[in-house]
Chains A and B, each alone.
Chain A
């Protein structure tokens, strides 16, 4: 980690000189200029090396307690900095106006889906014993995933392998769940319930997360 620091230090040092003499670099076609550049380069390199060597020695001189103390101090400082910055960010957030952009997504999603020919779908299949495979294709909305998971919980399903993919405003949910008492009737009822849910979510720009399930 010390080397990282030194590295960054060296980088900083190496960047500055070149910025400071842009003129030389661009003209450096004839020998004279090259000599100047290389002489300066040597001098600069020597200077940098001197500094880094001395820093290394300084590091090596520190005893254990000092190192720990420094670490503690540095951590505190960084924590304070990050807190300050996040507060600043919060303030800026409060005073800025950007609410409009977030809601744009809902309207586009339905259009995209229709354009691609993706159809909504709910399919519940009993695979093995109490295991069900649930496949849902629906319009992607904010909070729809949450609603679906709530529904699963409500139905007493234990989630196994779950996958969600989104594409062109549509969302595909594929989940293998473990039900409690699974029979043909239950499968049918589950399907109907889910279809109903999707229909209720459709049309609204956002799925309200009010736990109404």
Chain B
């Protein structure tokens, strides 16, 4: 609670003073306290962790007495009313239009937009620290508006409804939040990833940042940040942390995917999509194989038991198990497709039923044909057709093979082993040799 005691404006009892001050056009008092409150608020932010409710609860506890005092009383100060009205709103979904804002603002006197906004700011001024901290929003996000101009008032109220951001609210609020949260830190956030591209310019404006807001805000909505901002549920202390966290997740996703992809996010996601599809194919293939194998095993078991039974008991003919033992109802066609790429090689394995088609492309350095052939023998694949040769800098080969009956080799095993063998041989061979075994 020291946060609010230090700054005069946060003192609930001096709210009328604040109101007067803020009501003045171009009040210079506000920006200072804005920074104060922001530095204090961001200080507070650092203590909050990702869980909304937990953080909210923490805040609730911290400012409980303040809020409860206000809500408990039935005084008609704007402050209290704003609080009281805000709290029920906090629990509902809100469309953030001006009217909503005004209804719970409860500014008695003025009807002009400026005064209303000012009153908004003022009315929200004192309670905003608590309520905003409840949602981890910048304390005085309305202040810039009030102190500079009120061009963006339609957008500003939405800051309060941040948790609902993902319901396609305009991106302006997060921009606000980003900016305001970084304000006290002296704009050390470098625009080093494309997220900040649109916002970076704002950051670098330094002390004039507040003034530049209004101009750039309308642009901010159209930048790439539109779909990148909006991590509302994790509640990081800074926007930077949020970005870093998101980037880490992308990197984690990238690591899980076996093929080399470019660093950009779109490629990572594309790689993930392809990999997931591939995994699904593999799982399906494996299931079919396991079923077939199980079927075959059951069949052989039944045959054994039948033999045993017939040998043991010559008279009993009717010991056939239920259903037709010789027919496996698994008529699904096993099909699978995999691709594996490495720096110098590319492998494509397609399996339909018992035919495996392998395509191999490798930068010309070694005679990969030999190793591939050895591997195919190992995997019990019967070569039916091979075609290929030199194409520019590369060797390119196509193998049509058949799986020997009974073998349950599967696509991903083939592809992985193949690329592995080929890569290892490639790496092991000396660079200029043309006669390597």
* Interface residue B231 (Cβ < 8 Å from any Cβ of A): yes
Known: A72-B253, A92-B293, A146-B373. A81 touches B283 (CB 8 A): yes
Could you give, for residues 63-96 of chain A, a 1 whenever the CB lies within 8 Å of some chain B CB and a 0 otherwise? Answer: 1110011011011101101100110110011011
* CB contact list, B331-388 vs A, under 8 A: 367, 369-370, 373-374, 377, 380, 382-388
Docked-complex contact A158 and B434, CB < 8 angstroms:
yes
B157 to chain A, nearest CB (A): 22
Bound Cα distance A1, B434 (Å): 46
Bound Cα distance A64, B248 (Å): 13
Select from chain A the residue with minimum beta-carbon distance to B406.
A98
* Interface residue B275 (Cβ < 8 Å from any Cβ of A): yes
Docked-complex contact A92 and B290, CB < 8 angstroms:
yes
Docked-complex contact B408 and A93, CB < 8 angstroms:
yes
Instruction: Select the stretch in A17-25, A118-126, A163-171, A183-191 that faces chain B.
Output: A163-171
**Partner pick for B377 among A97, A146, A166, CB 8 A cutoff:** A146
B216 to chain A, nearest CB (A): 23
* Interface residue B273 (Cβ < 8 Å from any Cβ of A): yes
Bound Cα distance A184, B39 (Å): 90
* Interface residue A161 (Cβ < 8 Å from any Cβ of B): yes
* Interface residue A135 (Cβ < 8 Å from any Cβ of B): no
Select from chain A the residue with minimum beta-carbon distance to B282.
A82
* Interface residue B412 (Cβ < 8 Å from any Cβ of A): yes
Could you give, for residues 140-177 of chain A, a 1 whenever the CB lies within 8 Å of some chain B CB and a 0 otherwise? Answer: 00110110011011101011111111100000000010
Interfacial chain B residues near A209, Cβ < 8 Å: 374, 377
* Interface residue B199 (Cβ < 8 Å from any Cβ of A): no
Docked-complex contact A162 and B389, CB < 8 angstroms:
yes
Query: Mostly helix, strand, loop or mixed at chain B's interface?
Result: helix
Select from chain A the residue with minimum beta-carbon distance to B390.
A160
* Interface residue B29 (Cβ < 8 Å from any Cβ of A): no
* Interface residue A102 (Cβ < 8 Å from any Cβ of B): yes
Could you give, for residues 293-319 of chain B, a 1 whenever the CB lies within 8 Å of some chain A CB and a 0 otherwise? Answer: 110110010000000000000000000
Q: Number of contact residues on A: which range applies?
A: 35 or more
Docked-complex contact A79 and B228, CB < 8 angstroms:
no
**Partner pick for A105 among B282, B382, B388, CB 8 A cutoff:** B382
* Interface residue B20 (Cβ < 8 Å from any Cβ of A): no
Interfacial chain A residues near B387, Cβ < 8 Å: 162-164
Interfacial chain B residues near A68, Cβ < 8 Å: 246, 249-250, 253
Docked-complex contact A64 and B405, CB < 8 angstroms:
no
Bound Cα distance A153, B277 (Å): 39
Interfacial chain A residues near B228, Cβ < 8 Å: 64
Docked-complex contact A89 and B410, CB < 8 angstroms:
yes
Bound Cα distance A150, B408 (Å): 28
Bound Cα distance A165, B256 (Å): 39
* Interface residue A61 (Cβ < 8 Å from any Cβ of B): yes
Docked-complex contact B297 and A72, CB < 8 angstroms:
no
Bound Cα distance A118, B380 (Å): 26
Q: Which residues of A contact B (CB under 8 A)?
A: 1, 61, 63-65, 68-69, 71-72, 74-76, 78-79, 81-82, 85-86, 88-89, 92-93, 95-99, 101-102, 105, 142-143, 145-146, 149-150, 152-154, 156, 158-166, 176, 209
Docked-complex contact A149 and B227, CB < 8 angstroms:
no
Docked-complex contact B246 and A65, CB < 8 angstroms:
yes
Query: Which of A61, A71, A150 is packed against the most chain B CB atoms within 10 Å?
Result: A71
* Interface residue B197 (Cβ < 8 Å from any Cβ of A): no
Known: A76-B256, A89-B290. A69 touches B275 (CB 8 A): no
Docked-complex contact A69 and B249, CB < 8 angstroms:
yes
**Partner pick for A78 among B280, B385, B404, CB 8 A cutoff:** B280
Interfacial chain A residues near B293, Cβ < 8 Å: 89, 92-93, 96
**Partner pick for A146 among B279, B286, B374, B390, CB 8 A cutoff:** B374
* Interface residue B47 (Cβ < 8 Å from any Cβ of A): no
